[in-house]
Amino acid sequence: MTLYHPKTGKPLQRGRGATLSPDNRYARESRQGVDDGWRPEEIAPPPLVTTATALKTRRIITRNDSPDVGFDRSINPYRGCEHGCVYCFARPTHAWLDLSPGLDFEARLFYKPDAPALLRKELAESGYRCAPVAVGINTDAYQPLERRHQLTRRILEVLVETRHPFTVVTKSALVERDLDLIAQAAARRQAAVAVSLATLDRDLARRLEPRAAAPQRRLETIRRLAEAGVPVTVLVAPLIPVLCDAELEEVLAAARAAGARHAGYVLLRLPHELKAMFRDWLACHAPLQADRVMSHLQAMRGGRDYDARFGHRMRGGGPYADLLARRFRLAWKRLSFEPPVALDCSAFRPPDRHLQMSLF
């Protein structure tokens, strides 16, 4: 069934998350629609073709000093994400490539072919100090593009070979492909996986995350990881007021039953262009709930759509945010979740520095 935008009347792109493709915030020019007399429903949108372009980079390990996350370094083998999650906080980063955070983000993708070789080089540097590295934080390292390029697997091969601890965050069942590597590292207390799960409602998930694994499939992924001895965290993210916050306890219970040992949550974040994009998505897919969603969200963000302050952006503030935090804590305790496992950094073995020059 073709869906039409309630304001413009134009048909929406089937199987895509974004309903709005704004010009990025750095664009020198902007576009504006005009009425030329044709009814929008008479003009079908051209097929949206996904492209993947090689991206050269000098380094692959990204550093951060955010107090909101439990790591200081990460690796992202891809830019853009075909999962098409409308709420993705990474969408605005496509502005750095002079592209739209809308459909460009989920259709014009970039991969870093030198990532495994760069990782070897950086791990071999004399000043490198080992600490857990998070794989796939900005965009999912197991998005569909990974099936063809296998950059994430090759990165994990380097990390396992050097006994370097790592974590993975994903909403893809493709992570099961690399269970041989992840389980091997987990047996040495050097790997953990977090599976993102915002809702168990298949219809809502299809609209929010059109190309990610179905919620029930993610529960199966949690089960398979846990059975292989991998410590698994369920990450209720994003927690969206009105749309899915009522499911918080149900999601945690289902994940715990599947084998998740740890749990966390992140409140919906709407940086930069994402504010207008999410409002447009609500108008298309949840018009009767739109005002309540934004009202609750603003109540937790000091009257704004988003507050980027450290210590506030992940949880929000105010009575409603406090209620969500209390509900999470009570469910966490009732379901006997455990604190995250501490990964072992003591066994790290740097690659042979004398062999690195042969890679370049």
The reported pLDDT for the residue numbered 85 is 94
Residue labelled with tokens 């609500």? 282
List pLDDT tens digits, range 89-100.
Answer: 999 999 888 898
* CB distance 171 to 188 below 8 Å: no
Using CB atoms within 10 A of its CB, is residue 178 exposed (0-12), middle (13-18) or buried (19+)? buried
Look at residue 244 and tell me whether its pLDDT is greater than 70.
yes
The reported pLDDT for the residue numbered 291 is 96
Using 50, 70 and 90 to split pLDDT, how confident is the model at 20?
confident
Any domain includes 343: no
Look at residue 59 and tell me whether its pLDDT is greater than 70.
yes
Any domain includes 357: no
Q: In what order do the strands lie in the sheet with 166-170?
A: 61-63, 73-75, 133-135, 166-170, 191-196, 232-239, 262-267
The reported pLDDT for the residue numbered 42 is 53
- In our burial notation (b when 16+ CB lie closer than 10 A, e otherwise), range 68-107 reads eeebeebbbbbbbbbbbbbbbbbbbbbbebebbbbbbbbb
Does the bond joining 165 to the residue before it have cis omega, within 30 degrees of 0?
no
**What CATH number should be reported for the domain holding residue 307?**
3.20.20.70
As a whole number of angstroms, the longest Cα–Cα distance in the chain is 69
8-12, 138-142, 232-236: the lowest-pLDDT one: 8-12
Any domain includes 40: no
Any domain includes 92: yes
Look at residue 117 and tell me whether its pLDDT is greater than 60.
yes
Q: What angle is formed at CA 355 by the lines to CA 76 and CA 75, rounded to 5 degrees? A: 10
The reported pLDDT for the residue numbered 4 is 67
Residue span of the structural domain in which 61 resides: 49-338
List pLDDT tens digits, range 306-356.
Answer: 988 887 888 999 999 999 999 999 999 999 999 998 999 999 999 986 554
Look at residue 18 and tell me whether its pLDDT is greater than 80.
no
A 10 A CB-CB count for 152 gives 30
Instruction: State the amino acid at position 312 in one-letter form.
Output: H
Give the number of C-alpha atoms closer than 13 A to the C-alpha of residue 146, restricted to the C-beta side: 29
Any domain includes 24: no
Mean pLDDT, the chain, rounded, equals 90
C-alpha distances out from residue 97 to 28, 52, 73, 132, Å: 13, 14, 22, 29
The reported pLDDT for the residue numbered 36 is 57
The total number of structural domains in the chain stands at: 1
Any domain includes 138: yes
Any domain includes 72: yes
Across 53-60, average pLDDT: 94
List pLDDT tens digits, range 130-171.
Answer: 999 999 988 999 999 999 999 999 999 999 999 999 999 999
The reported pLDDT for the residue numbered 30 is 61
Any domain includes 71: yes
